[in-house]
């Protein structure tokens, strides 16, 4: 047993005696503030002592009693007699426990059950001070609920969480379930309703009625950080096992981040002291972990900060120190509330051990192949049968090809981040934008666990923000108009993501008024984007697509709300730079969907080469459905274009050479070589002169003057130094 038991017993007996005195005096004079304070403090200190000797039952019981006393302390009225008598009973029980401990040196085994009974009795004093005691009872109950529900898992838990989202949490764009799911070390979630008697009929679907209980294996600091966005709706309890010692680099990062957090405080009182203490602490931490260079840098920055009476130099130095120290990047991902580090593309990536292991394994296999090829070379050199050597070489080549592909895949998976890292910044921004234009809008996110290349995830923030702002500002109608249209007065915007083969699909859907194609035509004409005839010939969908045209939205905007008609052309440009596409789908009165299709990774694209008009081009393989050769008489003219029947579907056919302006006459050839493709959900076919080979290429987007070139996705260098143009099929079919 614990070396502190002796002193524990001594001190507890004193405290019990003192608290008993106080309680008896309070029975005489229930309004004595000093006595209430003194009792409260004794219970508080007893609770702390319980922690030192790991006497959990005692801690639990005293916690409930302490809450009762704390409520009495805060209340202006005199403390109720039944609270006093139950607190005295609790002290009697504690005295018996102390006696038992003195005999055995151990925590008495019956204490758990007795503590539970005492907690129930303390809870029954609820008529004394309804609100506070209800909270105390509640507190006990929810921990008990978790204890029952979690079973064995409870013993692994270090933090118990109760999160009761405000009823208007959804309206503020908060997503309680996503928030709780983001808690580190989550062991158990128990969902309940605030009001157990609520029925489906009476429930308001826009009001949160949730009462979320959860257990986490992480410490309360980490849990609190994860839930910082809803801090006033969350109660945390540290459970039995106290924080364990952590690896030094990790703790150093935590402490350095804490100093950064301290520097975010702007109150003028004690500013210099906080600044200097943050600097001194950070220098000490760096010295302790042996990073003398960083310590010196931070020390210099701290001196500069003190001299300038500004946190900026120290903040910069700490950020640098955090960026350099190669350690778990948990702290690099900035946490809005506690560590307000500016968001930049992460220089450090958190990588699963499994993914690294996969790389290690693959590199081992590559070495085996290398040795095998060396063996084949020796065979050839020794003049063995060339046929056999060639066969062996082919086998190794096949193996090498597979390994190279796997290695590439493994490397790509290292660069992957969940979209959550960008999505989670939006609820607050949407809420603020909505408030600024006097609307109520809730943002729902779906599929935020979808992964994509880190570069893409980072670059998505701006375009998504543009689209979301537009949705709030122009998409969602004002309350009066929504009411008129028979819609809920609360607008809904859904931000959803999903993985679709090699691409990532992101949709921003609002339930607003939709885009008025007529107005788009007027604006487009007024701004000289297209002439009246062209505009009239366009379908509504084509007209609406003009919102992406450069110079379309400047001041007055489609849905009348003036102001920040943020250029949707910049969205198309940004998404295009990432190798993606953006489209818009709008129904009058029902809302608008902006859809972005992005590549999963920026690195490699599988293409197939084709020849047309004497030149080579590449088509992205993921857009190709099949290649075929058809008799020319199966091609029929439809309007200005051509089409052919593929099984039971009519597919529009484009002559690639002709479309690209390469003079060509194919009419006399009896057969046509066709590539059937899927672009933006539609089937289409290209006629080419020759079908080439498949290859993986590093796609380089067009830049500078050629950046705006339609129909070209980018270029890549071929092995012989020639430039291969990779076509953007969707744009060609437009």
In this chain, which of 272, 312, 405, 638 binds another protein, going by CB under 8 A?
A: 272
**Smallest distance from another protein to CB 279, Å:** 7
Binding to another protein by CB under 8 A, coded x per residue (else -) over 134-173, reads -------------------------x--------------
* CB of 285 closer than 8 Å to CB of 265: no
Least CB distance to another protein at residue 337 (A) = 8
**Burial class (CB within 10 angstroms; exposed 0-12, middle 13-18, buried 19+) of 414:** middle
Query: Which of 163, 644 has the CB closer to another protein?
Result: 163
296 binds another protein (CB under 8 A): no
Supply the minimum distance, in Å, between the C-beta of residue 115 and another protein.
Answer: 17
The smaller minimum CB distance to another protein, of residues 184 and 261, is found at 261
Applying CB under 8 A, the span of 176-184, 264-272, 347-355, 715-723 interacting with another protein comes to: 264-272
Between 219 and 475, whose beta carbon lies closer to another protein?
219
- 297 and 320 in contact (C-beta within 8 Å)? yes
Q: Measured from the CB of residue 422, what is the shortest distance to another protein in angstroms? A: 24
Stretch of residues binding another protein (CB under 8 A), selected from 4-12, 112-120, 419-427, 468-476: 4-12
The least distance separating another protein from the CB of residue 109, rounded to whole angstroms, comes to 21
Our finding on whether 265 is near another protein (CB under 8 A) is: yes
| 355-414 positions binding another protein, by CB under 8 A | none
Give phi and psi for 289, each to the nearest 5. -85, 5
Question: In Å, how far are 43, 46, 91, 325 from 10, measured between CA atoms?
Answer: 15, 11, 15, 47
In the bound complex, what is the minimum distance in angstroms from residue 58's beta carbon to another protein? Answer: 12
72, 84, 187, 283: which one contacts another protein (CB under 8 A)? 283
- Contact yes or no for 537/559 (Cβ under 8 A): no
Give the footprint of another protein on residues 181-220 (CB under 8 A).
Answer: 219-220
DSSP helix/strand/coil, 179:
helix
Residue 114: phi, psi to the nearest 5? Answer: -65, -40
Measured in whole angstroms, how far is the alpha carbon of residue 474 from the centre of its chain? 26
Q: Give the helix, strand, coil percentages of the chain, each rounded to 5.
A: 50, 20, 30
Angle, CA 604 vertex, CA 600 and CA 605 arms, to 5°:
85
Cα gap 679→691, rounded to integer Å? 19
Residues 513 to 532 in contact with another protein, rule: CB under 8 A? none
Q: Which residue has the tokens 């003057």?
A: 705
- Looking at the Cβ atoms of 72 and 646, the one nearer to another protein is 72
Q: How far is the CB of 280 from another protein (least distance, A)?
A: 5
DSSP three-state, residue 435: helix
Alpha carbons within 13 A on the beta-carbon side of 290: 2
Instruction: Tell me which of 77, 155, 246, 734 binds another protein, using CB under 8 A.
Output: 246
- Of 498, 494, 544, 502, nearest to 521 (Cα)? 544
Among 51, 184, 323, 328, binds another protein (CB under 8 A): 51
> Which residues within the stretch 52-111 sit at the binding site for another protein (CB under 8 A)?
52, 54
Q: CB 257 → another protein: shortest distance, Å?
A: 10
Among 289, 376, 493, 523, binds another protein (CB under 8 A): 289
Return the half-sphere exposure (C-beta side, CA atoms, 13 A cut-off) of residue 641.
16
**Cβ atoms 176, 191 nearer than 8 A:** no
**The one among 19, 23, 47, 434 contacting another protein by CB under 8 A:** 47
Among 123, 258, 358, 517, binds another protein (CB under 8 A): 258
Asked if 224 interacts with another protein (CB under 8 A), we say yes
Task: Using the minimum distance from each CB to another protein, give the nearer residue, 225 or 496.
Answer: 225
DSSP 603-622: S-EEEEEEEETTEEEEEEGG
Token pair listed for 527: 């701004």
Q: H or E stretch including 100? A: helix 81-104
Strand pairing category for 605-612 and 491-500 = unpaired
Q: How far is the CB of 237 from another protein (least distance, A)?
A: 7
How many helices (H) and strands (E) are present in the chain, helices listed first? 25, 22
Compute the distance between CA of residue 256 and CA of residue 445 in angstroms, rounded to an integer: 32
Residue 285, interface with another protein (CB under 8 A)?
yes
CB of 357 to another protein, least distance (A): 30
Closer CB to another protein, 199 or 267, in the complex: 267
Spatial distance between the Cα atoms of 302 and 321, rounded to a whole number of angstroms: 13
| Total number of residues that touch another protein (CB under 8 A) | 66
Q: Does 304 bind another protein (CB under 8 A)?
A: no
Q: What is the dihedral of CA 232, 233, 237, 238, to 10 degrees?
A: -60
Distance (Å, whole) CA 493 – CA 442: 6
Among 18, 95, 238, 333, binds another protein (CB under 8 A): 238
499 binds another protein (CB under 8 A): no
633 near another protein, rule: CB under 8 A: no
- Residue 591, Cβ neighbours under 10 Å: how many? 24
Site for another protein contains 418 (CB under 8 A): no
Among 28, 127, 269, 354, binds another protein (CB under 8 A): 269
* Residue 300 touches another protein, criterion: CB under 8 A: no
Closest to another protein by CB, 277 vs 573, is 277
Question: CA-CA distance, 448 to 420, in Å (whole number)?
Answer: 5
Q: What CA–CA distance (Å, rounded) separates 584 from 540? A: 11
State which of residues 252, 305, 332, 441 lies at the interface with another protein (CB under 8 A).
252
Is 7 an interacting residue with respect to another protein (CB under 8 A)?
Answer: yes
Work out how close the CB of 66 gets to another protein at its nearest, in angstroms, rounded to a whole number.
9
Q: Nearest Cα to 121, choosing from 161, 95, 92, 97?
A: 92
Instruction: Report the largest interatomic distance among the alpha carbons of the chain, rounded to a whole angstrom.
Output: 114
List of residues contacting another protein (CB under 8 A)? 3-4, 7-8, 11, 37, 41, 44-45, 47-49, 51-52, 54, 159, 219-221, 224-225, 227-228, 231-232, 234-238, 242-246, 248, 251-252, 255, 258-259, 261-262, 265, 267, 269-270, 272-274, 276-281, 283-285, 287-290, 306, 337-338
């Amino acid at each position: 047993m614990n070396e502190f038991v002796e002193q524990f017993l001594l001190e507890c007996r004193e405290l019990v005696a003192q608290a008993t005195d106080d309680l008896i005096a309070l029975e005489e004079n229930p309004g004595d503030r000093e006595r209430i304070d003194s009792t409260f403090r004794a219970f508080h200190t007893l609770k702390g002592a319980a922690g030192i000797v790991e006497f959990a039952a005692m801690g639990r019981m005293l916690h409930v009693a302490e809450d009762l006393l704390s409520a009495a302390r805060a209340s202006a009225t005199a403390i109720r007699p039944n609270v006093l008598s139950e607190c005295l009973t609790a002290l009697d029980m504690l005295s018996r426990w102390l006696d038992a401990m003195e005999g055995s040196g151990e925590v008495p085994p019956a204490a758990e059950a007795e503590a539970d009974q005492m907690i129930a009795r303390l809870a029954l004093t609820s008529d004394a001070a309804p609100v506070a005691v209800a909270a105390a009872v509640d507190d006990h109950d929810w921990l008990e609920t978790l204890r029952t529900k979690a079973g064995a898992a409870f013993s692994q838990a270090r933090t118990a969480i109760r999160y009761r989202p405000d009823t208007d949490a959804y309206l503020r764009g908060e997503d309680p379930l996503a928030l709780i799911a983001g808690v580190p070390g989550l062991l158990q979630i128990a969902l309940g309703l605030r009001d157990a008697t609520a029925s489906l009929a009476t429930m308001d679907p826009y009001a949160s009625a949730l009462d979320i209980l959860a257990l986490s294996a992480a410490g309360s600091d980490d849990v609190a950080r994860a839930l910082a966005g809803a801090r006033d709706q969350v109660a945390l309890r540290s459970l039995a096992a106290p924080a364990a010692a952590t690896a030094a680099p990790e703790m150093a990062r935590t402490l350095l981040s804490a100093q950064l957090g301290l520097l975010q405080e702007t109150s003028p009182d004690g500013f210099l002291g906080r600044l200097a203490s943050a600097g001194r602490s950070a220098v000490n931490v760096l010295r302790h972990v042996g990073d003398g260079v960083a310590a010196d840098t931070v020390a210099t920055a701290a001196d500069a900060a003190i001299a300038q009476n500004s946190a900026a130099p120290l903040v910069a130095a700490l950020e640098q120190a955090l960026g350099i120290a190669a350690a778990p990047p948990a702290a690099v991902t900035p946490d809005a509330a506690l560590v307000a580090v500016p968001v930049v593309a992460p220089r450090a990536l958190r990588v699963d051990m499994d993914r690294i292991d996969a790389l290690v394994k693959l590199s081992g296999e590559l070495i085996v192949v290398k040795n095998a090829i060396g063996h084949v070379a020796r065979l050839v050199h020794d003049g063995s049968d060339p046929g056999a050597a060639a066969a062996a070489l082919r086998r190794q080549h096949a193996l090498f090809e597979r390994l190279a592909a796997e290695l590439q895949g493994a490397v790509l998976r290292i660069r992957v981040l969940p979209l959550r890292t960008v999505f989670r910044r939006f609820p607050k921004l949407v809420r603020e934008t909505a408030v600024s234009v006097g609307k109520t809008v809730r943002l729902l996110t779906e599929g935020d666990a979808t992964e994509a290349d880190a570069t893409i995830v980072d670059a998505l923030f701006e375009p998504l923000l543009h689209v979301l702002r537009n949705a709030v500002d122009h998409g969602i109608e004002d309350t009066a108009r929504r009411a008129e249209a028979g819609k809920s007065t609360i607008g809904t915007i859904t931000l959803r993501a999903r993985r679709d083969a090699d691409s990532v699909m992101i949709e921003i859907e609002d339930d607003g008024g939709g885009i008025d194609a007529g107005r788009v035509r007027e604006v487009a004409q007024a701004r000289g984007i297209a002439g009246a005839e062209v505009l009239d010939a366009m379908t509504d969908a084509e007209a609406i697509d003009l919102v992406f045209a450069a110079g379309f939205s400047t001041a007055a905007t489609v849905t009348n709300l003036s102001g920040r008609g943020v250029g949707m052309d910049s969205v198309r440009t940004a998404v295009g730079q990432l190798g993606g596409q953006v489209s818009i789908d709008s129904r009058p009165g029902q809302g608008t969907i902006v859809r972005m299709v992005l590549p999963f990774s920026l690195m490699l694209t599988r293409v197939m080469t084709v020849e047309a008009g004497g030149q080579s081009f590449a088509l992205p393989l993921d857009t190709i459905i099949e290649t075929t050769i058809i008799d020319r008489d199966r091609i029929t003219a439809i309007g200005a274009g051509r089409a052919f029947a593929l099984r039971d579907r009519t597919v529009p056919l484009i002559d690639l050479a002709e479309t690209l302006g390469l003079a060509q006459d194919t009419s006399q050839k009896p057969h046509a070589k066709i590539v059937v493709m899927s672009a933006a959900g539609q089937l289409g076919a290209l006629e080419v002169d020759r079908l080439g080979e498949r290859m993986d290429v590093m796609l380089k987007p067009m830049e500078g003057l050629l950046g705006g070139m339609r129909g070209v996705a980018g270029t890549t260098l071929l092995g012989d130094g020639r430039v291969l143009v990779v076509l953007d099929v969707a744009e060609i079919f437009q």
